[in-house]
Structure 1
Amino acid sequence: MQVTDVRVRKIQDEGKMKGIVSVTFDNEFVVHDIKIIEGLNGLFIAMPSRKIGEGDFRDIAHPINSETRSRLQDKIFDAYEKAKLSQDE
């Protein structure tokens, strides 16, 4: 499965959440509301989730292995950096 499009829908300068993206796979399947979060060790992605109890959340969609997560994260961060640069111009 190939990432065929990454759209950065929102960029925020303040707070820990830095952006929200939608990712399209094989021009056939899209996942919305992937968040770019700034943590203690740098940026990471948080997959879309829903609340299942008091303060508990469960991912709605997520990569099954670390290799896939890494490839997805790299594509998202590339698109995020490009969007930030174009926003600053």
Structure 2
Amino acid sequence: MEITDIKFRRTEAYGRLKALVSVTFDNTFAVHDIKIIDGQDRLFLAMPSRRMPDGRYRDIAHPVGNALRDELEHRVLDAYRASFPQ
């Protein structure tokens, strides 16, 4: 599976949320509302989620293995830094 497009919806300074991202895989499947979060020691991705009746959040879509998660985070954050230099 190849990441073929990354699009940012930049947010205003809204706490730790830096941007919302849409990622397209193989020009055929898109995942929207991936969040770039400013963590205590680094930026990281939070996958789209839904609040459950008990108040917890559960991912709607997410990588199953670490290899895809690492590649996705690396590619998205590199593109973010290139598009929005600090």
Equivalent positions of 1:56-75 (< 5 A) are 56-75=56-75
Alpha-carbon separation, structure 1, partners of 2:46 and 2:22: 12
1:49 aligns with 2:40: no
Pick the structure with more helix per residue: 1
Offset of 1:39 from its aligned partner?
1.1
Instruction: Structure 2: state its 5+ residue gaps.
Output: none
Most deviating of 20-29 and 74-83: 74-83
Which of structure 1's runs of 4+ aligned residues deviate more than 3 A?
A: 11-14
TM-score by length of 1: 0.87
Q: Residue 8 of structure 2 aligns to a residue in which SS?
A: strand
Instruction: Structure 1: state its 5+ residue gaps.
Output: none
| Corresponding position of 2:4 | 4
TM-score by length of 2: 0.90
Q: Residue 30 of structure 1 aligns to a residue in which SS?
A: strand
Q: How many residue pairs align between the two structures?
A: 86
Structure number with the bigger relative contact order (C-alpha 8 A, sep ≥ 6) is 1
Deviation digits for residues 53-83 of structure 1 (CA, Å, limit 9, x no counterpart)? 2321110000011111010001110121122
Offset of 1:14 from its aligned partner?
4.7
Equivalent positions of 1:29-48 (< 5 A) are 29-48=29-48
